[in-house]
Amino acid sequence: MKILVVNAGSSSLKYQLIDMDGEVMIVKGQVERIGIEGGHLKQTVQIPGTEKKVIEIFQPIADHVEATQMMLTALQDEKKGAIKSVVEIGAVGHRVLHGGTKFSASVVINDAVKDAIRECIPLGPLHNPANLMGIEACEKVMPTTPQVAVFDTAFHQTMPPKAYMYGVPKKYHDQYGVRRYGFHGTSHRYVSKRVCEFLGISPLGQRIIVCHLGNGSSLSAVVDGKCVDTSMGLTPLDGLLMGTRCGTLDPAVVQFIANNENMTVDEVLNMMNKKSGLLGISGLSSDMRDIDAAADKYNGDAMLARDMLVYGIKKYIGSYAAAMGGVDMIVFTAGIGENNGALRERIMDNMEFLGAKLDHAKNAACADGHATECVISTEDSKVKVLVIPTNEEIMIARDTLELVTK
Ligand code: ADP
């Protein structure tokens, strides 16, 4: 069966077509600038054993329905497409940001599920409406194809209350659902499961720290295959220093900056989401490659940004090891985690006290676009340190297949 995986953002729609016989991604595409000037579709078809085919279209795209239609037309393109008819698409798996406490696993979409995703809009005001638009657009153009929702928050629903509650009056939790939810759940689930398969061991009895380090970054603590804590919170702003997000800070900073700069709370939060992190500290870029290049030339602010990132990750690793009563594996994933060997070296420096010893040669070999699944700790390291490239799309496709063939 071929499964279409859709990730709808407010002005974009990313998609992959995965042939589940062998789990091969045969199409990768994205529609960008939906509803704004400069609409654009780019699709690459790569069927094993055949030549790579690329379609690129520039035209105004009014809304997500039009974007979905463009995607389906491109998928069925006679010369450069991958399928002859939409009936070849067995099901569609949608990435949905926020499932609140309503979803601890993926589900087949029906009206009640859509209502529940809608009810979670206050928790994911930017993403959930876009995700719903993607779902409804697919329903409109493929009315008989089953649709599945896979939530970014679902994997973290196993956290115990002591990990997810905030120390504000409990009524805010009871009334509005104010608590830690965590994100990147599909990636944390994929990586924590895959690492055990890779090592040929059962997840039972394993204490794993997954470091998902990309533009957005989060750590999770996973025991017996279940998430017990994660660094992102009510929103993805919490936790580590990220590309443009500040991560954890004293909440009083919001009021302090708002008063001094005559800004509204919304403006301060916008600054904390979009202008902070590596970008805000370095004044240069949100991309770790730019930070590294500048820091290696002794740019003080870039060095500070890198130091803050590394220090933050170290502190989370230490706290999760303490929370789990020890750690058996530390796993790196996502753009920075997979590719930036030098940063992994900095993070793991001086971690022998924890039982984690890096094999410098193995670590250096797994970098710069050559990320493969590999152990990067020494043979005698008590804690295994690994790189496992993430694959959220395959997880979405697997969930979708399982739910529609059940
Ligand atoms: P997102 O969170 O948007 O999915 P990614 O997981 O792609 O982002 O991570 C983006 C980060 O990964 C950037 O800071 C970038 O510097 C880093 N990165 C991506 N590819 C490479 C690479 N080949 N070498 C070094 N760093 C990389």
Residues 137-192 have pLDDT tens digits of 999 989 999 999 999 999 999 999 999 999 999 999 999 999 999 999 999 999 99
CB atoms within 10 A of CB 183: 27
Complete edge-to-edge strand list for the sheet that includes strand 329-333: 226-230, 217-223, 207-213, 329-333, 384-387, 374-375
- Of 151, 167, 193, the one marking the end of a domain is 151
Provide the domain limits for residue 83. 2-151
- CATH number, position 326: 3.30.420.40
The predicted pLDDT at position 327 comes to 98
What is the average pLDDT value for the chain, to the nearest integer? 96
Which residues sit opposite 229 in a β-bridge?
221
Contact 35, 26 (CB under 8 A): no
Does the residue 405 lie in any domain?
Answer: no
Q: How many domains are there within the chain? A: 2
Give the separation between CA 235 and CA 273, rounded to whole angstroms: 10
The predicted pLDDT at position 274 comes to 93
Counted residue by residue, the chain has a size of 406
- Rounding to the nearest 10 degrees, give the CA dihedral for residues 39, 394, 364, 305: 50
Which residues sit opposite 4 in a β-bridge?
17, 92
Give the separation between CA 378 and CA 386, rounded to whole angstroms: 11
Q: Is the CB of 337 under 6 A from ligand 1?
A: no
Say if residue 138 is in the same domain as residue 259: no
Smallest CA-to-CA distance from 138 within 147, 128, 151 is with 147
- Of 151, 181, 215, the one marking the end of a domain is 151
Q: Is the CB of 217 under 6 A from ligand 1?
A: no
Catalytic residues: 152
Q: Is the CB of 145 under 6 A from ligand 1?
A: no
Contact 28, 16 (CB under 8 A): yes
Q: Is the CB of 132 under 6 A from ligand 1?
A: no
Ligand 1, residues 288, 333, 388: which to mutate, most atoms within 8 A of Cβ?
288
The predicted pLDDT at position 157 comes to 97
**Residue burial 254-265, b: 16+ Cβ < 10 Å; e: rest:** beebbeeeeeee
Give the separation between CA 296 and CA 343, rounded to whole angstroms: 12
Say if residue 213 is in the same domain as residue 79: no
Does the residue 143 lie in any domain?
Answer: yes
Q: Please determine, for residue 260, whether its predicted confidence score (pLDDT) is greater than 80.
A: yes
The set of residues, in sequence order, having a beta carbon less than 8 Å from that of 52 and lying 6+ positions away, is 44, 45, 46
Q: How far is the CA of 334 from the centre of ligand 1 (A)?
A: 7
Q: How far is the CA of 284 from the centre of ligand 1 (A)?
A: 16
Per-residue pLDDT tens over the stretch 108-139: 999 999 999 999 998 888 889 999 999 999 99
The predicted pLDDT at position 367 comes to 83
Does the residue 263 lie in any domain?
Answer: yes
E strands within 127-237? 147-151, 207-213, 217-223, 226-230
The predicted pLDDT at position 55 comes to 97
Q: Please determine, for residue 227, whether its predicted confidence score (pLDDT) is greater than 80.
A: yes
Say if residue 373 is in the same domain as residue 227: yes
